[in-house]
Amino acid sequence: MDLATGPRLARHVRLAFDRTRDRPVLLLPETVVVLNGTGAAILRLCDGRRSVEEIVAELGTEYAAVSEDDVRGYLSRLVARRCVEPADG
């Protein structure tokens, strides 16, 4: 799937922080996906307006050595699980 136009969280998905377990999470109707810090940082930037390149560039100001391939791979896996959708999809 083409992610070039700006990924965003699927409509049924909400990014939240779980205080009890001290981890960022994705909340879905019947599932909780526990995230790591980097994953949450990527998803916070998925607002449908930023392109993947822009997301990678912004992450680069916060994290050393952000690989565009890794970000694309991460998002593609979440697209396959229908947690993320491309803006024009």
The site for other proteins (CB under 8 A) is made up of 1, 10-12, 14, 16, 18-21, 25, 27-30, 32, 82, 89
Minimum distance between the CB of residue 63 and other proteins, rounded to whole angstroms? Answer: 26
Q: Indicate the residue among 66 and 83 with the shorter CB distance to other proteins.
A: 83
Nearer to other proteins, 72 or 81 (CB): 81
Cα distance between residue 31 and residue 83, in whole Å: 11
Sign of the alpha-carbon dihedral angle for 30, 15, 85, 37: negative
Q: How far is CA 77 from the centre of its chain?
A: 10
